[in-house]
Structure 1
Amino acid sequence: MNDLSYYVPALAMTVPLVLKGRSAASWRDPLVRSVCALLLLTALAFAFAAPPTIVAVNRLTGVPNVSAPLVYALLTAVCAAGLVLIVSWRGGPPGVARRLTVRCTAGFGAVIAVMVVLFALGDAPVERLRDFDTYYATTPFLREMVLLYLLSLLTAGVAMNVLCLRWRRRVGGRPLRSALLLIALGFGLCALYAVAKLVAVGARWAGGNLDGLSTWGAPALAALGGVLSAAGFALPLLWSLPARLLGDVWSAWRSYHALTPLWRELRPVCAAGEEGRAAVRLGWWSPPSLRAVRRQAEIHDALLVLCPHFDPVVRERARAAAVASGAGAERAGAQADAVMVLEAVRAHGAARDADTAGHGTAVPPAEGPEDLVRLSLALRALRA
């Protein structure tokens, strides 16, 4: 891998990170927070493992090779976050999941603390950007630090594969099964990364030299594993995203067209309100959601204009007639509101012609989008 290749998987992590954490409401979900934490840690691990970043961190701190324990700590944290996420994701008894989460966090946290201590006790005066593992493979304390982090990665990769593949056999649904398979493959490649590094370090202990396996082969495995893992965590969301987007568009169009009868009835009132000011026109490219919101706003404006002409007596009389004809409470209320709106439109027109003001006391008949749709459908039924 060249220097810039390390940033590719880091950027790949940001795509599902943005998709999963794009709204404030989603952050209230513990699983979303866990996924975002894992993706963020993985992106940071790849970014700080890049040779240009290693040089920058070493120069900034003034400590040669201080990036080594930093990257090792990030990779270990990624392993812990992945295991915690899978434990939380698959569910089960809350007490069991809580104990496993605490043990996993404490265990990998202890590994990180020991690695920091070992680096502080060791001596690494020569800056190594790519081959720290093998260059210091025989240096006291540093060899233990390298061995500890590689074994923790190997353990986590194997554990993730076992958990994902076991869970995959029990769940239904193609998106989740495919996601678990990708996550297992990704962490499997990370386990192979650790194996390649261990082989290269073992060769150094035996007096041989397999540094290329650690310097060039292992990072490629880690990069591919990171991308596959990110794809696995993003797959359930991406799988449902097109359907959700189409559903939102269809819902907006339905709302827009369902409001047409009410909007047409109130159009004279809307037009009167637009006199003397330029109306904001929507282009043909405007999305259905914007059109629906615009139509709702125009209807609300017209209803506010009609407030002085709303007659509660007309409403109650129409409600009683609807109930007497066998209509339910919700339907009777919508029909009564529709009758009152029709009478208010007529009264508004007569008041404009006579230059007088209305004296109604009823409140507007609808507030939310669903109320407006019910009112529009009731009005259409009256006009039918």
Structure 2
Amino acid sequence: MDASPYYIPALALWAGLLAKLPDLVRTWRDPLVRSVCWVIFLGGAGFIFAAPPTVAAVNHASGIPNLAAPLDYVLVSAYSAACLVLILHWRGGSAGHVRRLARRWQIGYTVLITLLVVLFLMGDAPVERRTDLDTYYATTPWIGQMIALYLLGHMTAAVATTALCWRWALQVRGWLRAGLWLLVAAWLLNLSFSTLKLIAVAARWKGTDWDVLSTILAPGLVGLAATVATVGFIVPLLGPRAIGLWRAGVTWWRLGPLWHELSSVSPSSPLAAPIPWYSSYAVRLTQREAGIQDGLNHVRPHLDDRVRSRAEEAARAAGHGTDDASRIGLAAMIAAAVRARCNGASATVDVSDHSAGLAARATLVGVAHALRTSPIVATARAAAAVDDGIRK
């Protein structure tokens, strides 16, 4: 039998665990971080030990037919409890209240796991069943009860977790809400998994063979549920970081025209030098902004407010709004100042201090856009070159 429906979700879950390991090392005392890691680890282990090749290996190594079944039931039940505890810690609230609720669920599933082990020891399952033990032994004394108890425990966790995530999702916004709705979807899939298996088991109690529900449909659902749950847990953690990196990259790119305009006035400055390819976009953006401020410091004596005023008036006459016209005026003044600085012109007489405005990132982005696209800025740059030529 193809084991990929078991091993692929396990790998997906443990890939998520690998992404969380740095957080675990840094904040291993945080119960929330530990709970996330336990959930991902146990979820992956549940799939590994449910895979037919693993089932065969465990049974062969132990010499006990079907030992893999209670082992997997224990892992899945522990996973269910870990998910409930994680949601409780994640949602927060009074520390004492959270600890009490978490302890109750932990005690409840510890009792469940103990009963599963006891029932297996009391029963007799001599024929190895790698994929259909649930239905094959559904009517066997003690083993059938073990199977039904395991499925009911799984359904309980699915209902409780779905309800917790659903209520919480209605109270929050953003990435957390997206992650919670994914968890709702994942646990509804888990609920479908245990429901299908329980229906197949109940059919055997009635003497009917609906094994396809347990052996074919249910494994596909639980595999999808594990993948969706992993994404649901990780999205609220990594989503804001991804958006931050995206915004840093976009801002870095948008500041390019201004950075290139100013870098020519201080080619020996390390801040205005080309940024190393291996730097993150957050570092690149910081370096680029520092380079821009360094360049502005070099051209500050040449910033002519008359150039800015003329360009701003021309922009308004061309139909630009107040903010756009202001940025076009600043861009024209900077372009003219760069040309004057590069040509060795003397400092201008009418110098105004625009440090406050040019320190704002949004203003710098607007100035960079005007440098790249505005014909008014191009005209001011050309006029500065002509003026320098006349003075020389």
TM-score range, shorter-chain basis?
A: 0.5 to 0.7
Following superposition, the deviation at residue 18 of structure 1 comes to 1.8
Distance in 1, matches of 2:45 and 2:221, equals 17
* Alpha-carbon contact 1:203-1:209 (below 8 Å) kept: yes
* Alpha-carbon contact 1:118-1:145 (below 8 Å) kept: yes
Q: 1:200 to 1:245 in 2, by over 3 A?
A: same
Q: Which residue number corresponds to residue 188 of structure 1? A: 188
Q: Which residue number corresponds to residue 285 of structure 1? A: 277
3-state SS in 1 of match to 2:100 = helix
Any residues of structure 2 matched to 1:196-207 within 5 Å, and which? 196-207=196-207
3-state SS in 2 of match to 1:39 = helix
Unaligned stretches of 5+ in structure 1?
Answer: 267-281, 296-384
3-state SS in 2 of match to 1:170 = coil
Q: Which residue number corresponds to residue 28 of structure 2? A: 27
Matched, 1:115 2:107: no
Distance in 1, matches of 2:3 and 2:242, equals 36
Q: 1:288 to 1:143 in 2, by over 3 A?
A: closer
Matched, 1:175 2:167: no
Q: Which residue number corresponds to residue 224 of structure 1? A: 224
Letter in 2 for 1:32: V
Q: Which residue number corresponds to residue 65 of structure 1? A: 66
* Alpha-carbon contact 2:178-2:232 (below 8 Å) kept: yes
3-state SS in 1 of match to 2:22 = coil
Letter in 2 for 1:237: L
Any residues of structure 2 matched to 1:1-384 within 5 Å, and which? 2-23=2-23, 24-171=25-172, 173-245=173-245, 285-287=277-279
Distance in 2, matches of 1:93 and 1:284, equals 48
Following superposition, the deviation at residue 161 of structure 1 comes to 0.9
3-state SS in 1 of match to 2:59 = helix
Name which of structure 1's ranges 178-187 and 232-241 shifts more when overlaid on structure 2. Answer: 232-241
Q: 1:119 to 1:283 in 2, by over 3 A?
A: same
Q: 1:181 to 1:139 in 2, by over 3 A?
A: same
Distance in 2, matches of 1:288 and 1:141, equals 59
Distance in 1, matches of 2:110 and 2:251, equals 48
* Alpha-carbon contact 1:13-1:42 (below 8 Å) kept: yes
String of CA shifts for 1:50-69, please: whole Å, max 9, x gaps.
00111111111111100000
Q: 1:110 to 1:247 in 2, by over 3 A?
A: same
Following superposition, the deviation at residue 15 of structure 1 comes to 2.7
Letter in 2 for 1:95: G
Q: 1:247 to 1:161 in 2, by over 3 A?
A: same
Pairwise CA RMSD = 3.0
3-state SS in 2 of match to 1:129 = coil
Following superposition, the deviation at residue 132 of structure 1 comes to 0.3
Following superposition, the deviation at residue 198 of structure 1 comes to 0.8
* Alpha-carbon contact 1:134-1:200 (below 8 Å) kept: yes
String of CA shifts for 1:141-197, please: whole Å, max 9, x gaps.
1011001000001111011111110111111x2211111111011111111111111
Name which of structure 1's ranges 190-199 and 21-30 shifts more when overlaid on structure 2. Answer: 21-30
Letter in 1 for 2:192: L
Question: Displaced runs of 4+ in structure 1, greater than 6 A?
Answer: 247-254, 263-266, 289-292
Q: 1:235 to 1:287 in 2, by over 3 A?
A: same
Following superposition, the deviation at residue 30 of structure 1 comes to 2.2
Following superposition, the deviation at residue 71 of structure 1 comes to 0.5
Distance in 1, matches of 2:74 and 2:191, equals 16
Following superposition, the deviation at residue 286 of structure 1 comes to 3.5
Following superposition, the deviation at residue 33 of structure 1 comes to 1.3
Number of residues paired by the alignment?
Answer: 274
Distance in 2, matches of 1:265 and 1:198, equals 71
3-state SS in 1 of match to 2:215 = helix
Name which of structure 1's ranges 122-131 and 8-17 shifts more when overlaid on structure 2. Answer: 8-17
* Alpha-carbon contact 2:162-2:188 (below 8 Å) kept: yes
Following superposition, the deviation at residue 237 of structure 1 comes to 2.3
Distance in 2, matches of 1:74 and 1:3, equals 18
Distance in 2, matches of 1:132 and 1:61, equals 18
Following superposition, the deviation at residue 2 of structure 1 comes to 2.9
Distance in 1, matches of 2:247 and 2:20, equals 19
3-state SS in 2 of match to 1:27 = coil
Q: Which residue number corresponds to residue 303 of structure 1? A: none
* Alpha-carbon contact 2:248-2:282 (below 8 Å) kept: no
Letter in 2 for 1:155: T
- Percent pairwise identity: 44
Distance in 1, matches of 2:84 and 2:234, equals 17
* Alpha-carbon contact 2:5-2:219 (below 8 Å) kept: no
Letter in 2 for 1:12: A
Q: 1:290 to 1:160 in 2, by over 3 A?
A: closer
Following superposition, the deviation at residue 5 of structure 1 comes to 1.8
Unaligned stretches of 5+ in structure 2?
Answer: 288-392
Distance in 2, matches of 1:7 and 1:87, equals 29
